Chain A
Amino acid sequence: MPSPVTAENRLNRRLGVDAFLLLMRVVMSAFVVLGLLMFIGQQINPDNFVASRINPDATGLTAAQFEGLVISGLSQGAMYGLIALGYSMVYGVLGFINFAHGEVFMVGAMTGMITSNKLDESGAWESNFLLSLLFVLVIAIICSTLTAIIMERVAYRPLRGSPRLIPLITSIGVSFFIQNVSVVLLGPGAKSYPTLPDWLSKKRELFGFVTIEGTRLMVLVVAAISMVALWYLVERTKIGKAMRAVAEDKEIASLMGINVNRTIVTTFAVGGAMAGIAGILWGLLFRSVVHTTGFLPGIKAFSAAVVGGIGNMGGAMAGGITLGSAESVAPLILLEPWGIDGVSQLKDAVAFLVLIFVLLVKPTGLFGERLSTEDRA
């Protein structure tokens, strides 16, 4: 017979923290949903009774404005996605966040800036643009791949198997180091890319209904091509098979005759190359780089990887695009209706809030995570 329930053995099931988290989830969701509803209301009639009280200056967005936001969000997101692939692959294989991956991206953008300016001086940039662009791209990919490989060899390999936080802290140091190497060698000021030819940067109609800047179109196309190439590498080649095996279980993979060290280096190299491509695209799109260029995009790309489900490559790209669109569109459609001033200043804050929101609501990311057996436990 079970003994009767008494006051002493009544167990306190719920923690204050859980209640607080539930509240946070509810409040955040309500904030998003209400913001969205008010935005829709604004679009229908900017002077409706809610909007006139909360946000009297509401005008709503025109279709063209909205389209512009979405396209800039997509192209930005494609770049986040490319960087996120590096985070995601390294996390899949080694189980730690390579904090310095954003700096690999910055190295790509910087070398691109140096090479393209040299080419501009010699006149090749103008006379033979496509060939010089290809050359710049190759140089940037080589440099950022080398950075990633050296990073792995010098800083991370000796730390394999040490307590979890140690490589993470090291990668913060590496990030800090690379940023400041750039400062002491190239100076702290912003540096610009040479101007692009008109035929590339001008706006053009696509499929008759989308107007898109040539550069942004190029970003989307290059990102798509790189993504397909990477997919082919990982899913269809021997190297890719080795990478997936190492991600699953390093020890067993090495017993199966896979060179684990080489596979890890390859992973870093491939991630570095993707970051290099993203760096060039970033440079061409915004035409300006600083030593801190890698930091925020790096963190956001990591957020993208988490949002998409870390260790999941398709998820990284999807997460990048989600995050890019969210940070471009959300301030205007979710925050503006609440009557918050200067919403564009809060762009970065929105990106971080998306990360927090996703981790609170669905910690495995939108598309589920693929982790090695060691991490699942």
Chain B
Amino acid sequence: MSRRLLTINKLSVTFGGLHALKDLDFYIDEGEIVSVIGPNGAGKTTFFNMISGMVTPTSGDIIFKGESLLGLDPNQVTAAGIARTFQNVRLFANMTILENVMVAQHCRTKQGIWGALFQTRPFKREEQEIREHGEKVLGFFGTRLVGYRLDQPAAVLSYANRRRLEIARAMATKPTIILLDEPVAGMNPKESAALTRLIGELRSDWGFTIVMIEHDMSVVRDVSDRVVVLDHGETIAHGTYEEVSTNPDVIEAYLGRPAEESA
């Protein structure tokens, strides 16, 4: 039995009277891949923002490895071991690709001003380690992000490669859990199939636990252990892909109520 990593109890948030999330319960065990799906505006991204500390919940609790994450700043959440990507890719566009993954290791390193000024041995060693680890996570995506690309600004990357770099940046923070916000959005079927395989490898080879928001059902079907369906800020279904995909509530949420019933 694997360890329970993240437990969320009765999490709610309201923006000016609107319930973005309402009494949400959620858990994830070590080594799982859980997909969060739901129609647009269901509160999926808010859910991620809340775990990563960018939005403060109105009530409820988030327990990670037995500690509450409430009241932590986003950087402390990342330091605790939860990294994320963004739905609308947000890279440091003018920093080079290598710098993007190097800067993400900030919370795992500690050399300060003195090390940099006097070029101490620990400083040099740490720089070397950061660089090597950065190249390693970039190498995960084949040769696309390495080689001559290392010193190019992230802005020149194609859309799909920016998504890949974002995942690499999240990997570089050495997290326990990675939150992927629509990782294959905007990719063609071939690319998304390849990325789906890589997401599987993130678990099997790198040992990450993954929570993923995704609209592409083939990706969800291929990698998820469990699927959570959100609608209007509430969990409406929970289970394996097969269970969820046949659940009448889910079909209703996506397709709407049959005409004769709602009339």
- Direct A–B contact in complex, judged by CB atoms less than 8 Å apart: yes
9 smallest CB-CB distances across A and B, nearest first, come from A2-B66, A3-B66, A9-B65, A9-B67, A5-B66, A13-B71, A2-B63, A3-B65, A11-B67
| Chain A residues with CB below 8 A from B65, complex form | 2-3, 9
- Cross-chain pair count, CB within 8 angstroms: 29
| Chain A residues with CB below 8 A from B73, complex form | 15
Which residues of B, 39-97, contact A by the 8 Å Cβ criterion? 63, 65-67, 69, 71-73, 76, 80
Residue of A nearest to B70 (CB): A13
At the interface, yes or no: A4 with Cβ under 8 Å from chain B?
A: yes
Q: Which residues of B contact A (CB under 8 A)?
A: 3-4, 7, 63, 65-67, 69, 71-73, 76, 80
Q: What is the total number of residues of chain A having a CB less than 8 Å from a CB of chain B?
A: 12
Q: A2-B4, A2-B7, A3-B3 are in contact. Are A9 and B72 (CB under 8 A)?
A: no
Q: How far is the CB of B177 from chain A (nearest CB, A)?
A: 14
CA distance A294 to B36 in the complex (A): 56
At the interface, yes or no: A1 with Cβ under 8 Å from chain B?
A: yes
Q: A2-B4, A2-B7, A3-B3 are in contact. Are A9 and B76 (CB under 8 A)?
A: no
Q: How far is the CB of B2 from chain A (nearest CB, A)?
A: 12
Q: How far is the CB of B105 from chain A (nearest CB, A)?
A: 19
Is A11 within 8 A of B66, CB to CB?
no
At the interface, yes or no: A128 with Cβ under 8 Å from chain B?
A: no
| Chain B residues with CB below 8 A from A12, complex form | 76
Chain A's interface: helix, strand, loop or mixed, by majority? loop
Is A9 within 8 A of B4, CB to CB?
no
Is B72 within 8 A of A11, CB to CB?
yes
CA distance A11 to B65 in the complex (A): 11
Q: How far is the CB of B62 from chain A (nearest CB, A)?
A: 12
Is B66 within 8 A of A9, CB to CB?
yes
Partner of A10, one of B4, B7, B67, B71: B67
| Chain B residues with CB below 8 A from A5, complex form | 66-67
Partner of B72, one of A1, A2, A13: A13
What are some 26 contacts across the A-B interface (CB < 8 A)? Answer: A2-B4, A2-B7, A2-B63, A2-B65, A2-B66, A3-B3, A3-B4, A3-B66, A4-B66, A5-B66, A5-B67, A6-B66, A9-B65, A9-B66, A9-B67, A9-B80, A11-B67, A11-B69, A11-B72, A11-B76, A11-B80, A12-B76, A13-B71, A13-B72, A13-B76, A15-B73
